[in-house]
Structure 1
C-alpha cells in the first residue's frame, strides 16, 4: 500500500499546483518548499519480540464480556484508557460483535483486580491486540446468548440472531426475545431451562499475535513551508498525511491520534531542545523556556487513509498511535531544504531554529 499512499497524498495536496505556486512566488523572493517523507512503523508487538530475551512484558491481552440481567454488556479489558479513546473503540467492537447498541455497553479498564491479565497500553497495540480480544469474546458471548435463546424458545440456534438488543429470527428479523428477558431467565430462573443445560453469559478470550514480531503500519507525509531568508524563521503552511493503519474502527479518534503525533513531531523538528552550558547546567529546565508546540502555531493538518487490514487478526487493525511522530520531522526538513536549495543551503540538525537556518544560509557564523 506504499504506492497507494503516495498516489493519494499527491492528489490530496494537489502537488503540481503547489509546485507551480512555489515557482511563481520564488520569482518574487518568497521561498517556499515542499517536503515528503515515507515511514514504516512497528505496532502490535508480539511475544516473539520481548519473550525471547526473557523480559516479563506481556504482549497478549484479554477481554471478559458479561451480559447482565438488565441486558447490559460489561466489557473488562486489560488494555488501559489513557485518553487515546480506547474505551470508545472497545465499546464499538463489543456492540457490533454481540449485537447490541453502544448505550448497552459498559467498558472497564485499568482495574487489575477484575480485568484479565494483559500487557496494558504501550507500543500502539490497544486496538490491534486488545480490540481483537474484545472481538473474539464478543463473538463467543453472542454464541452463548443464542444457545440460551434456542433453549428458551425451543428453536434451532441457526435460525436465530442477535440484533438491536434482542434475539430475532435471522430471516424475518422478528423479535423473539429481549436480551433483558433472556438475562432474567438465565440468572433467576435457570430451573426452567432443559435438564443438563448450563447457561453461560460470561466469557473471556485472549489474543496473542503469532505470525510476526510486529504488525507494520506505513504512510507518507508532506509539509509545505515558507522560509524567511532574512530572519531564518520557518512558517508551517500546511501538512498532509496518508496512513495505512489497517481497519479503522473510529475514524475521528484515529485522525486525532495521527494529528497529535504529527504535532509532537513538529515540536521535535522546530522547537524542542535541551540547552546546556559548557559545564552541563541545563538552561531551559521549565516550561517557561522549554518550547513546545502551541495550537496557534500549528498548520492545518489534513489526514486521509489507505485501508489494508492486517491478516494476522480477524479485526485487521494495526497501530496508529506513533507513526505520525515518525514522519513529520523528515517531511519538514525536506520542505525547508527544498525552499533554500536555490541558495545552496541545507539543514540537517533538529530543531530547525532560525539560527541554524541562518547558519546554513551563511548569514551568521557557526559557534
Structure 2
C-alpha cells in the first residue's frame, strides 16, 4: 500500500460470491430449502441456511480457506490459494424478482427469492504489497471433482454429520464404482442395497432370532409376572433365570439395529444429496432418481407408484417379523405413516428402501425356516417355592 494516504488505507477487503435468484431444479422448493452459505475457517466448517440470515449476517473469525454459496447440487465459491484471510461472512436477503428474471425462470417459481452471499475477508498486512492468489469455482457439488482440486472444497458437500461423513464417503465411492460397471444408477442402488444387506446379514440374523426367542418366551414371562406380581424382586429374578436358561439376551434384538444406525444415516445423506442421481433415469416412469416418481395425475394430485410398492414390501416384512400380536395394528399404522413420509422424497431413496424391505423379508424367511428351538421353562413350583422360603425366613 505504498504511496496511499493513511486516511485511505484499509486493513482488509472482501471477495464475495452471490447466488443469482435462479432455480436449477424442476421443483423450485428444492433450491429454496437448500440454499446456504458455507465457509471453512481453520478446521471448522460453518453452514448458514439462507432462511436463517434474514435478520442479520454471521461472521466467522479466523484463517478462512473458502467462502461458498450452495444449493443441494451446485456451488459458487471463492478459495484462498495464497492469502492471509481473517474471516468468512454469511448473509442473505429476500428479493422480489424483476419481470426479466421471472421470464427466465419456471412458471412455478415464487415471486420472491432468497439471495445468499458468502464473503472471504482478506487481510492487508501493514505497508507491504503482497500478491494474493485465489480460485473461483462455479459448478456441481460433485465430491470426486471437488476433491481433485485439492483445496478442501469437497468438505462443503453435505454428507451428513461429522461422525457420519466417513461412512457416507465410502458409500458414495462404492455407488460411483458400481455405476461404472453397470451404467444405470437405479440398478446401482439395487446392488448397493444388496451389498449392504449382505454385509449386515450376521447382525440382522442375530436380531431376528433374538426377537423370535423373545416372542416364544412371552407366555412364560406373563405366567411369571402374574404369579409374582406382588414380589418385584422375585419376579425379576425369575425372568432373568428364564432368559439365562434359554440363552436369550433381552437386548439382542435392539443392539444390531443400533450398530446399523450410522450406516442408515450415511445412506440417507448420500441418496439425498449425490448429484450423480440428478436427472438419472431408471426404468419406465422413473426419469429422475433425485426427484419423486410420478405415474400419472388425478385432479392435480400425483400418483406415485414407488411409495406404494414400498408400502407393499413393508407390509410383507411386517407380516414375517416376529412381533407381539398386540403390536400388529401399531406396526401397520407405522407402515402407513412411512408412505406419507416417503411420498415426496427422491425416488432413488424410496427405491433403496423398497429393495431393503424385500431383502429383509427374504432374510426373515430364511431365519425362521430353520427355527427349531425348544423352550426351557422353569419348574411350575420353582418361583412360588422361592416366595414361600422368603416368607418363612422373615
Q: TM-score, length-normalised on structure 2?
A: 0.23
With a CA cutoff of 8 Å and minimum separation of 6, indicate the structure with the bigger relative contact order.
1
Higher helix share: 2
